[in-house]
Structure 1
Amino acid sequence: MQHFPIFLDVADKAIVLSGGGEAAIAKLRLLLKTEAQIHVYAPHPAPEIEAWAAEARLTLTLRPLGAEDLSGATLVYAANEDTVEDARVAGMTTEAGILINVVDNLEASAFITPAIVDRDPVTVAIGTEGAAPVLARAIKRDLEERLPQSLGLLARLGKRFRSHADALPMGRIRRDFWSAFYFRSGPRAAASGREAINAALETELQAHLGAEARPGHVSFVGAGPGDPELLTLKARRALDEADVIIHDRLVPAEILELARREAIILEAGKEGFGPSTPQERINAMLVEHGHSGAQVVRLKSGDAVIFGRLEEEIGALDAAGIAHTTVPGITAASAAAAQIGRSLTARGRNSELRLITGHDVEGLAEQDWQALARPGAVTGIYMGKRAARFLQGRLLMHGASPETPVTIVESAGRPNSRVIPSRLCRLAEDMTAHSPSGPAVMLLGLAPSHETASVAARIETKLKEHA
Structure 2
Amino acid sequence: MNHFPLFADLKGRTALVVGAGLVAERKIALLRAAGARVIVNARAAHPQVQARARQGEIELRLGEFDPALLDEAWLAVAATNDREQNRRVADAAAARRLFCNVVDDPELSSVQVPAIVDRAPLTIAISSGGAAPVIARRLRERIESLFDPALGALAALAQRKRPVIRQARPHLRARRDFYDWLLDGPVLGALRRGRGDEAESLLDQALSARTPPPAGKVLLVGAGPGDPGLLTLRGLRALNEADVILADRLVSPAVLSLARRDAHVIDVGKAPGGPHESTQARIHALMVSHARQGRCVVRLKGGDPMVFGRGGEELQHLKRHGIPYEVVPGITAALACGAYAGIPLTHRDHAQSLTLATAHRRAQTGPLASPDATRGDGRTRVYYMGVERLPALRAQLLAEGHASGLPCALVENGSRPGQRTLHATLGSVVEEARRHAIRSPALLIVGETASLGMDLAWFGETLQTPPAGGADIQRQAAA
Alpha-carbon spacing, 1:395–1:460, altered in 2? closer, same or farther (3 Å): closer
Instruction: Assess if the C-alpha contact under 8 Å between 1:370 and 1:398 holds in 2.
Output: no
Alpha-carbon deviation of 1:455? Answer: 8.0
Instruction: Assess if the C-alpha contact under 8 Å between 1:420 and 1:456 holds in 2.
Output: no
Alpha-carbon spacing, 1:458–1:450, altered in 2? closer, same or farther (3 Å): closer
* 2:290 corresponds to 1:289: yes
User: 1:376 maps to which residue?
Assistant: 378
Alpha-carbon spacing, 1:341–1:166, altered in 2? closer, same or farther (3 Å): same
Worse-matched range after superposition: 379-388 or 332-341: 332-341
* 2:254 corresponds to 1:250: no
- What is the alpha-carbon distance in structure 1 between the residues aligned to residue 459 and residue 239 of structure 2? 35
Partner residue of 1:441 out of 443, 459, 477: 443
Alpha-carbon deviation of 1:214? Answer: 4.7
Alpha-carbon deviation of 1:340? Answer: 2.4
Cα offsets for 1:232-256 (capped at 9, x unmatched): 1100011100111111011011111
The amino acid of 1:301's aligned partner reads G
* 2:353 corresponds to 1:352: yes
User: 1:307 maps to which residue?
Assistant: 308
Alpha-carbon deviation of 1:453? Answer: 5.6
* 2:381 corresponds to 1:385: no
Alpha-carbon spacing, 1:144–1:387, altered in 2? closer, same or farther (3 Å): closer
- What is the alpha-carbon distance in structure 1 between the residues aligned to residue 249 and residue 284 of structure 2? 16
Alpha-carbon spacing, 1:270–1:144, altered in 2? closer, same or farther (3 Å): closer
- What is the alpha-carbon distance in structure 2 between the residues aligned to residue 227 and residue 398 of structure 1? 36
The amino acid of 1:374's aligned partner reads G
- What is the alpha-carbon distance in structure 2 between the residues aligned to residue 442 and residue 372 of structure 1? 19
User: 1:59 maps to which residue?
Assistant: none
What SS does the corresponding residue of 2:320 show, helix, strand or coil? Answer: helix
Alpha-carbon spacing, 1:369–1:290, altered in 2? closer, same or farther (3 Å): closer
The amino acid of 2:314's aligned partner reads E
Instruction: Assess if the C-alpha contact under 8 Å between 2:382 and 2:443 holds in 1.
Output: yes
Structural mapping, 1:331-350, within 5 Å: 331-350=332-351
- What is the alpha-carbon distance in structure 1 between the residues aligned to residue 309 and residue 182 of structure 2? 35
Structural mapping, 1:254-273, within 5 Å: 254-273=254-273
Instruction: Assess if the C-alpha contact under 8 Å between 2:343 and 2:456 holds in 1.
Output: no
Alpha-carbon deviation of 1:346? Answer: 2.1
Cα offsets for 1:329-357 (capped at 9, x unmatched): 00111011111223212224333211111
Alpha-carbon spacing, 1:245–1:405, altered in 2? closer, same or farther (3 Å): same
What SS does the corresponding residue of 2:326 show, helix, strand or coil? Answer: strand
What SS does the corresponding residue of 1:359 show, helix, strand or coil? Answer: coil
- What is the alpha-carbon distance in structure 1 between the residues aligned to residue 397 and residue 296 of structure 2? 45
Alpha-carbon spacing, 1:139–1:342, altered in 2? closer, same or farther (3 Å): same
- What is the alpha-carbon distance in structure 2 between the residues aligned to residue 258 and residue 166 of structure 1? 33
- What is the alpha-carbon distance in structure 2 between the residues aligned to residue 173 and residue 265 of structure 1? 27
Structural mapping, 1:8-407, within 5 Å: 142-143=138-139, 167=173, 212=212, 214-274=214-274, 276=276, 278-363=279-364, 366-368=368-370, 371=373, 373-407=375-409
Alpha-carbon deviation of 1:374? Answer: 3.2
Instruction: Assess if the C-alpha contact under 8 Å between 2:341 and 2:460 holds in 1.
Output: no
The amino acid of 1:451's aligned partner reads D
Alpha-carbon deviation of 1:450? Answer: 3.9
Alpha-carbon spacing, 1:344–1:178, altered in 2? closer, same or farther (3 Å): closer
Alpha-carbon deviation of 1:175? Answer: 6.0
Instruction: Assess if the C-alpha contact under 8 Å between 2:181 and 2:212 holds in 1.
Output: no
- What is the alpha-carbon distance in structure 2 between the residues aligned to residue 328 and residue 316 of structure 1? 19
Instruction: Assess if the C-alpha contact under 8 Å between 2:224 and 2:231 holds in 1.
Output: yes
Alpha-carbon spacing, 1:456–1:242, altered in 2? closer, same or farther (3 Å): closer
Instruction: Assess if the C-alpha contact under 8 Å between 1:222 and 1:328 holds in 2.
Output: yes
- What is the alpha-carbon distance in structure 1 between the residues aligned to residue 309 and residue 142 of structure 2? 38
Alpha-carbon spacing, 1:458–1:241, altered in 2? closer, same or farther (3 Å): closer
Query: Pairwise CA RMSD of aligned residues?
Result: 3.7
User: 2:109 maps to which residue?
Assistant: none
Alpha-carbon spacing, 1:453–1:425, altered in 2? closer, same or farther (3 Å): farther
- What is the alpha-carbon distance in structure 2 between the residues aligned to residue 354 and residue 238 of structure 1? 30
Alpha-carbon spacing, 1:372–1:245, altered in 2? closer, same or farther (3 Å): farther
The amino acid of 2:403's aligned partner reads S
What SS does the corresponding residue of 2:234 show, helix, strand or coil? Answer: helix
Instruction: Assess if the C-alpha contact under 8 Å between 1:225 and 1:330 holds in 2.
Output: yes
Instruction: Assess if the C-alpha contact under 8 Å between 2:357 and 2:371 holds in 1.
Output: no
- What is the alpha-carbon distance in structure 1 between the residues aligned to residue 220 and residue 182 of structure 2? 25
Instruction: Assess if the C-alpha contact under 8 Å between 2:409 and 2:451 holds in 1.
Output: yes
The amino acid of 1:399's aligned partner reads G
Cα offsets for 1:127-149 (capped at 9, x unmatched): xxxxxxxxxxx9899559989xx
Worse-matched range after superposition: 211-220 or 382-391: 211-220
What SS does the corresponding residue of 2:221 show, helix, strand or coil? Answer: strand
- What is the alpha-carbon distance in structure 1 between the residues aligned to residue 236 and residue 140 of structure 2? 22
Alpha-carbon spacing, 1:317–1:264, altered in 2? closer, same or farther (3 Å): same
Aligned residues with identical type, % of pairs: 37
The amino acid of 1:227's aligned partner reads D
Alpha-carbon spacing, 1:433–1:145, altered in 2? closer, same or farther (3 Å): closer
Instruction: Assess if the C-alpha contact under 8 Å between 1:234 and 1:327 holds in 2.
Output: yes
When normalised by structure 2's length, the TM-score is 0.52
Alpha-carbon deviation of 1:311? Answer: 1.5
